[in-house]
Amino acid sequence: MSRTRRMIEELRTELGEQSPLPDPVAPVAPIEPPPVRVNPRAPLKDARFAAQAAEHTTALVGVGRVGTRYATEVVLQFQAELAVAHGAVGAVLPDDWAEQQGLVFLSTRVASHREFLLRPDLGRRLHPESATRWEAECAKDIDIQPILADGLSAVACMGAGPELLAHFIGQCEGRGLRVGTPVVSRFSRVWLQDEIGQIARAKVACILLGERPGLGTGDGLSAYMVYDPKVGRTDGERNMISNIHARGIVPADAAERLARLAGGMLDQKTSGVDLDLSKIPGLGGAGGTALREPQVRKRLVSIP
C-alpha cells in the first residue's frame, strides 16, 4: 500500500468511518423521465416574414429558439453544412481531371493548396511554363474565352462545371460568337481570366469557378466576365453571376444568361459598372428593379 493510501486509511479510522462513501441520509427521490423531444422548435409566431422567407432559401432563416439558444436540430444542421463547406475548400482538382474532360490544363504560380489559400496573388497569374504553352496552343482573335477553374471549391468545378461550360459554349456558338479554346486551371483566382484572355486576344473572357462555400452551397459556381481582358483589370470592370448550382440558378439557365451578357458586352464594348444591363434582355431581372419570383429550394444536406 502506498504512503498516500495508508494516510487516507488512517484518517478515516480517526474520523470513525472506514467506508469511502457514507450511507445516504434519506432515500433518493425518483427522477421523472425526460420528454419525448428535449428541445422542441419554437413556433415562428414572433417572426413576421421568417416563415415565408424560409420556404425560398437554403439559409437558416426563421429557425426558432429554445430559451436563449438555438434548438439542437438547428445546431446540427449548421454543423453539417459547415462540414460541407470545409470539405469543398479542402478539395483539390486532380492532375488528370482536365485531360479526362478533353480540356487544356493550365497551372498558376501556386505550388500547393496551402499556398493557394495564403497567397491569392499567386493564383491570379499563370505559371511561366503554362503561359508559354497557352501562347502556342490557344485560338486567338476570338470573341469569347471560356475558362473553367477550381477557385475555392474544386467540388463545384468537378460537379456542375463541365455541364455549365458545355451549355455556355453552345449558347455562344448558337449566337454566332467565336469561342476560344476551352481551358481548365487549378489553384485559380478570378483575375486569372485577365492574363488568359489577354494572351488569346479575346474580346471577352469568362471564368467559371467554384465560389467561396457558404452554408448549404459547397457546390456552387460563380461566373465572372470582363470585356477586353488584360492584366490590371479591376473588379469594377467585371460582371458576375453567382449561386449556379442545382438549388439555385441551374447551369442551363445560367449559361443562357451568360451568353446574353457576353453579347451585351460586345455590343456596348464595355463591362462592369459601365455596362447598361437594362439594354440586355433575358438576364433574369438583373437589369430591372422588380423582385425575383419565389423559388422553393432544397438544402444540400438535411438533418432529420
Condensed to tens digits (0 to 9), the pLDDT of residues 85-120 reads 898 999 999 999 999 999 999 999 999 999 999 999
Q: Which three cell numbers stand for residue 169?
A: 459554349
Give me the percent of the chain exceeding a pLDDT of 70.
Answer: 84
Average pLDDT, the chain: 86
262, pLDDT greater than 80: yes
Whether 153 and 211 have beta carbons less than 8 Å apart is answered as yes
**Confidence at 292, pLDDT banded by 50, 70, 90:** low
Average pLDDT over residues 168-183: 97
As a whole number of angstroms, the distance between CA 284 and CA 84 comes to 29
Helices 192-200 and 128-137: crossing angle, nearest 10°? 40
For residues 98 and 105, what is the distance between their CA atoms, to the nearest angstrom?
Answer: 6
Q: Same domain for 54 and 176?
A: no
Task: Tell me: do 68 and 146 sit in the same domain.
Answer: no
Instruction: Check whether residue 115 and residue 258 sit in a common domain.
Output: yes
Residues 81 and 220 grouped into a single domain: no
Contacts of 46 (CB under 8 A, 6+ apart): none
| Alpha-carbon distances, residue 299 vs 7, 39, 158, 251 (angstroms) | 63, 22, 20, 17
Last-in-domain residue among 62, 89, 116? 89
Between 294 and 183, the more confident residue is 183
Query: pLDDT digits over 39-88, tens only?
Result: 555 555 556 677 777 777 767 777 777 778 888 888 888 888 888 889 89
- Cα(155)–Cα(35) distance, integer angstroms: 41
Q: How many whole angstroms separate alpha carbon 120 and alpha carbon 174?
A: 35
Is 80 exceeded by the pLDDT of residue 127? yes
Residue with grid cell 483566382, as numbered in its chain: 189
pLDDT, one tens digit per residue, over 234-247 is: 999 999 999 899 88
Strand residue runs (E) in the chain: 104-107, 144-149, 183-186, 204-210, 221-227, 238-244
Question: Is residue 6 assigned to a domain?
Answer: no
Put simply, whether the predicted model's pTM sits higher than 0.95 gets the answer no
Q: What is the pLDDT of residue 81?
A: 85
Closest CA to 272 of 240, 229, 230, 232: 240
SS3 27: coil
Q: Are residues 61 and 176 in the same domain?
A: no
DSSP string, 138-163: S--S-SEEEEEE-TT-HHHHHHTHHH
pLDDT over 90 percentage in the chain: 57
Angle between helices 161-174 and 251-268 (to 10 degrees): 40
CA-to-CA distance for 170 and 263, rounded, in angstroms?
A: 14
Residue 35 pLDDT > 60? no
Q: Is residue 123 part of a domain?
A: yes
Is residue 251 assigned to a domain? yes
pLDDT of residue 73: 80
Let me know whether 122 and 149 are in one domain. Answer: yes
For the segment 133-168, what is each residue's pLDDT rounded down to a tens digit?
Answer: 999 999 999 999 999 999 999 999 999 999 999 999
Same domain, 81 and 204: no
Is the same domain home to 119 and 266? yes
- Using pLDDT thresholds of 50, 70 and 90, give the confidence band for residue 13: confident
Residue 211 has pLDDT above 90, yes or no: yes
Are residues 234 and 168 part of one domain? yes
Which residue range is the domain that position 193 belongs to? 92-279
- In the chain, how many domains are there? 2
In terms of domains, do 63 and 206 share one? no
- Between CA 104 and CA 10 the distance in angstroms is 82
Using the predicted structure, report yes or no on whether residue 37 has a pLDDT greater than 60: no
Residue 57 lies in a domain: yes
